Amino acid sequence: MERDLVLGFVNTVRHDGHGGVADDLADVGGFADWVAGCGVGVAVVDERLRGEVVALRRAVRALFARAVRPGPVSRADAGRLMPEAEAVALLNERAARAPGVPRLEWPAEADAPRARFVAGEPEFGAALARAAIDFLAGPDRVRLRACTAPRCVRYFLKGHGRQEWCKPSCGNRARAARHYRRHRVSG
């Protein structure tokens, strides 16, 4: 699903488990692993493509930060966001590179078909850009949030009214931090 691809893409910047931030796309090896995990056939995974995709991720994260307002942005983005006009221009420029074609998929168990954009191998960045555009212009954007747990830098889709964190472990970490602050102040 394109929504999952876009969320997975922006969340390649994540908490490293030690108080810092990890970048799954920091080198060509990590980028190749992420691409393989997407299930997308990309024949050549090299530094040029990695650099283009990382720049695109920076633009999409800037637009996610805009989309979650007035809520807080991801801590990984605060203070170092790409200007919004530049992010929009980069996203549109990358999406325009896609000479791919729409593909109709209609599984036997589905009531309705769906159209999916299929890009050629050299247009992986364009496919990511188009998926990001579809997400940002689609109905899921209003549920987009930045996780507020200590040290978390992920974006997620709010599934219910009281959800504040991207996953249960972040909720546990937030509650533990709140408990620690209360008892440290009163003790």
State the Cα–Cα distance between residues 134 and 147, nearest whole angstrom: 22
Q: Would you state the pLDDT for residue 115?
A: 67
- Tell me if 153 sits within 8 A of 74, measured CB to CB: yes
Average pLDDT, the chain: 82
Q: Residue 179 has what pLDDT?
A: 59
Supply the pTM of this predicted model.
0.77
pLDDT in tens, 80-90: 889 988 999 99
Write down the pLDDT at residue 122. 46
Helix (H, G, I), strand (E, B) or coil at 89: helix
Residues in the chain: 187
Residue 170 CA, distance from chain mean position: 17
- What is the spatial distance between Cα 156 and Cα 139, in angstroms, rounded to a whole number? 14
Q: Where are the beta strands (DSSP E) in 26-176?
A: 101-105, 114-118, 144-146, 155-157
Are residues 1 and 8 in contact, defined by beta-carbon separation less than 8 angstroms?
A: no
Mean pLDDT of 18-25: 84
Residue 119 pLDDT > 60: no
Span 99-117, pLDDT tens digits? 665 667 777 787 766 766 6
SS3 for 123-167, per residue? HHHHHHHHHHHHHHHCHHHHHEEECCCCCCCCEEECCCCCCCCCC
- Top pLDDT among 121 and 15 is at 15
Which residue, among 11, 25, 20, has the nearest Cα to 146 in the 3D structure?
11
Contact between 24 and 162 under an 8 Å Cβ cutoff? The reply is no
